[in-house]
Amino acid sequence: MNEMYSMGLSIHSVGAVFLLGTIFLNIVSLRLAKDIKKYKRVMSIFLIPLSITSIGLAVFTGTIMMAAKHLDFTIENIVMIIISITIIVLEARRAKYLTFMRNDRERVLEAYSMFASKILYTQFALVMVISIWMWLI
């Protein structure tokens, strides 16, 4: 049983690193974007599904670890749950803004870039802080 729990923690850590990498990839693609139509296409085909999958991986493995600990709610677990909900809400806001954004407006990419950058940097900081906290315990 202890080996399974250790393996689960390792998988959860890999999920957190994958989530950090996905957020970083989103930041880089946003910085390199020149055309809003191409950016929206790349986002809808590749990056939004990748982001949702990486968030789902971290949340799913965290849920499995909570079940393995018999739903023992520690302060670390409560903070992780709050951060997970926050990341999901922020990602939904970012995707919704991108979906309903009008392409024909002037400086639409700059406006979206400012909005999305705030969200992405917030997500990156939240995941990095909780990861460092958990890896140092």
DSSP 80-112: HHHHHHHHHHHHHHHHHHHHT--TTSTTHHHHH
The residues near 93 (Cβ < 8 Å, ≥ 6 apart) are 119
Give residue 137's pLDDT: 78
Question: pLDDT category, 65, cuts 50, 70, 90?
Answer: confident
- Condensed to tens digits (0 to 9), the pLDDT of residues 72-124 reads 888 988 999 999 999 999 999 999 999 888 887 778 989 999 999 999 999 99
Question: Which residue range forms the structural domain that includes residue 98?
Answer: 2-136
CA atoms within 13 A on the CB side of 3: 0
37 vs 41: CA distance, rounded Å: 6
- Top pLDDT among 5 and 89 is at 89
pTM of the model: 0.89
Tally of domains in the chain = 1
Instruction: Supply the mean pLDDT for the chain.
Output: 91
